[in-house]
Structure 1
Amino acid sequence: MISNTYTPPDTPLDVLHEDHEIIVVDKPAGLLSVPGRGEHLTDCLIVRVQAAFPQALLVHRLDRDTSGVMVFA
């Protein structure tokens, strides 16, 4: 049986900045920005961020193999 409930990994988000308008996070290489197709691709940065900040919306994306700063509003 496969669970539909997502539990983010225990690894903490690397939040570089947070205020009432934006959240800035350091995305590690190897992590998708948004979910991919297939159950094995559901772990991604937007899901991890929204687990901590439910109202966060993605401003842009980075490729899976790219690390760098990502902005959420």
Structure 2
Amino acid sequence: MTEVYDLLTTGPQTQVDVSRLNFGERQELCRISVTRTSDVTNIGESGDFSTIYYLDGDERLAAAVFVDENRNS
């Protein structure tokens, strides 16, 4: 196992270099990635929320981390 994978086993992460995972580990990797856009109907700036990387099965914890990381975005 790679160091990046070992880090993901401790819980969802915001900074993951996917290229450092081996092929088998990448198959288990999931992410929450949302891009906000602004148009005529939306007020405010466009931009990205923090992406959350997690292993399959950690969906609930990843969702909680996503909310905490992006609460003020």
- TM-score (ref. length: structure 1): 0.30
**Bigger-Rg structure (1/2):** 2
Q: Higher helix fraction: Structure 1 or Structure 2?
A: 2
- TM-score (ref. length: structure 2): 0.30
